[in-house]
Chains A and B, each alone.
Chain A
Amino acid sequence: MDIIHQGLLDIVGEGHISNQQEELFIYSWDLGTTEPHRPDYVVSPRTPQEISRILELANRHRIPVIPLGGGLSLAGLAVPFRGGIIIDLKRMDTIIEVNEQARYAVMECGVSMGQLTSYLERKFPMLTHSEPGAPPTATVAGNAAIHGQGDLAHPYGFNSDMVNGLEVVLPTGEICRFGACSIGAQWFTQHPLPDVGLFLGWTGTTGIITKISLRLFPCKNIRGTAMFVVDNEDYVPDIYHRISRTQMAEDIIAFSQTIPPYASGLQHFTINLAADSEKELEFKKELIFDDALGEYIRRGDGGYLGFTYGLQHPQISKTADWRKGGGFEYVGGIMPVSCYPQCYRRGKEISDRHDIPYTVLGRCIGAAHAMMFSWTYAFNRADPESVRHAREAMHETDELALELGGAIWKPGLYGQRLVMSRLNPNTLNLMKKIKKLLDPNGIMNPGHWEES
């Protein structure tokens, strides 16, 4: 047994480390088009102290370390490009505290979205959180770390805007806390302490989040989804604004896709509404569909498709079924909502060029301050040519997102380099300094946010 394996075994114990090829194979992939790279070890620690010791070991031996949550980010964010140790965080799955009055939850980094949802439904039905469209095994901390968005994005913004505090193990092993919890107070706020946004959006290159405090929100008795449809993409920004102005919706998503046929060429909106009574629900419907959007209906330009009780989370992963071989990946752009028509048209062109059924979706973030626009590409995992087309389409879309004046959400390596090529040089320099300061040996998720 080599010295690193023995060192890791001493830290996490038997059964929580592997260098078996069949297990390393599984950890060499993510679900997208990124080429696989095999790690040398996979460990599954239980405590921040164990993570701290692993990082000390990795620094001593200059071995890369890649933190892994649900492994669902797609864009190769947790693929071990230079081998090393994958730290699978799923064992750290305790929900530590829910504060009903101050509406927050503190949990370990391996807690999944589905776990938090079911926990709240069972024990705190008056509270909810902003659940993304990812499969429920996506982790809460991982989603915040990549600036994810969920079904409360319209009123409350990115999930990373809902972070009240973090516990992080720095690349050099120190365990730090940020937010009110760092001064021994409760985990109820990140402000007004000095802002330390060093760990969100950095793709695991500046430390490993081990605990997170997340804001929770009132969960109304009735939640459901109304639908609206238009046949002209140019109407979409105005509709976002009209609905947003009412301040009555929890979530506003527009989508269009080739499959199934009913969605092709049309722009569908799913508008999540919540209410404590039928009276409140009717009031909200009236404001949105009779007042804000009534003009579209009367002109015959927009149609109300009714309200369905119960939330339905958008599942982009269903797109994987559009092709044999079950693969899909998407580029997410954080875009101005005014760009929706161009995003739709240009994205459709890219899909057509690569013979992939087009699938696009725009989720309104904040009061139409931005949208997350996703261009999704299905591919056949068993067909290298199909994978190549999807990968090229992704790269073209990365460029499109920037060309249209947006930012790429959770970019893969290609997108990161595009972003860095446009970054303000002083900003880029600052990022390098921060990275060097925090991770002097460059062990954290190497390859990411590095210039080629």
Chain B
Amino acid sequence: MYELNFDVQKCLHCPTHACLTRCQHMDIDRDTAGREILKIAAGEDSFVLHDCLTCYACEEYCPMGNHPFYLIVKRQEELNVQPLPRPLIQRGINIGKPFRGEPKINKVNGRALLMGAFADHMFLIQGRLFEGLPVISDDPRKMFHYFCQLMYLHYARISVINERLPGVIETITRHNVTEAICFHDECYGTYTSYCPSMGIEVPFRTVHFFEFLYNRLVELRNLIRPVNLRVAYQRPCSSRLSPGKLRFVYDIFKLIGAEAVQRKYVGRNALCCGGIIEGQRREGSRKRASEIQGLNISDMKDAGAEVCVFNCPACYHTLAHLVEKEGIRPIFMSDLCRLAIGEQPAGWR
């Protein structure tokens, strides 16, 4: 079985314990942080395991390249600290079970767009940006064969991820894909962060969706007309697993003439959509999620955003209606890019 590659020596030598001291949802000083992370590493219980909102951010905050979030989740499962009520965990585990037969394996023999478990968002994949690009997992009936499973970090179920992920990788590999452009941050984070941390081999190269979009826009530069929109970006939790790719968000905005508004909750300080928090077991979770959403959207509004840009469909599902009510139009990043090259966005609402 796979084992998390977590180096406790790194924590012992960490000057900041930023994994916990920077946490937006827990107020922890440096000494306490150091003590608690070592307790967790040693297999002991900690209040952190109970209070963690599973926002992934500590993976990004860790200055030592360790994996504090994976460790927390692993320990939550071992000690049966369930962040979500039992039926939600069962439901979540059931969601990822394929049930509509085996997928059709088209041999790509090269690079392809990997939709993961979002084949139902194929409506976004149209126009010149995607011309000639093969897609795998384009059938919503079969998409769970391509589900990266990393969602189960929210469910304290690393065991489910580790049990299913090798089969998912094998399915993707059967397409002879050499380079998978991951539609969703979560897939990208799975193959570039989680798998290496667990020693799970990934036999294909991965490209972040935003990197792909940026490069395509550069190729289509002569078609770009500035969108002249003031935009806010809703950073998804799994983006914390690939912080180096965040720059492409701003590179794209610059390229297409979108102005990223100056916000408080941006970059490392970004607030999650709250979708997972509202269902958590902890007293007051529903209201807490609502408060986080309120802070986030007020921040966008105060900064003068006209448009909220999403990549994660789950964030979109959770927040689109709420931002819209505040007069901010929700849009997927790919649609924004299509708008910039004179195409009609598929998902404008």
State the A residues within 8 Å of B (CB).
229-231, 259-266, 278, 282, 285-286, 289-290, 294, 296-306, 308-309
Contact = CB atoms under 8 A, between A and B. Distances in A.
B241 interface: no
A300 B86 contact: yes
B283 A303 contact: no
B127 interface: no
A306 B279 contact: yes
- Ranked 8 nearest A-B pairs via Cβ: A303-B88, A303-B85, A231-B87, A261-B97, A262-B94, A261-B94, A262-B95, A229-B87
B91 interface: yes
B164 interface: no
B30 interface: no
Contact of B94 (A264, A303, A309): A264
B278 interface: yes
B99 A259 contact: yes
A230 B87 CA distance: 5
B94 A231 contact: no
B21 to A, nearest CB: 29
Nearest to B317: A308
Given A231-B86, A261-B99, A309-B321, A303 B290 contact: no
A304 B87 contact: no
A265 B283 contact: no
A231 B90 contact: yes
Interface of B: 82, 84-88, 90-92, 94-95, 97, 99, 275, 278-279, 281, 283-287, 290, 317-318, 321, 325
Contact of B99 (A260, A289, A303): A260
Contact of B287 (A262, A290, A308, A309): A290
Given A261-B97, A261-B99, A300 B281 contact: yes
16 contacts: A229-B91, A231-B90, A260-B95, A260-B99, A261-B94, A261-B99, A282-B290, A294-B283, A296-B85, A298-B283, A299-B85, A300-B86, A301-B86, A303-B86, A303-B279, A304-B286
Contacts of A264: 94
Contacts of A286: 287
B49 to A, nearest CB: 15
A294 B287 CA distance: 12
B330 to A, nearest CB: 12
Instruction: Specify which of A230, A260, A263, A303 lies most central, judged by the most chain B CB atoms within 10 Å of its CB.
Output: A303
Nearest to B86: A300
A266 B87 contact: yes
A185 B279 CA distance: 52
B141 to A, nearest CB: 10
Nearest to A298: B283
A190 B334 CA distance: 57
B291 to A, nearest CB: 11
Given A300-B281, A303-B279, A304-B286, A261 B95 contact: yes
Contact of B88 (A229, A265, A289, A298): A229
A306 B318 contact: yes
A129 B281 CA distance: 36
Nearest to A304: B279
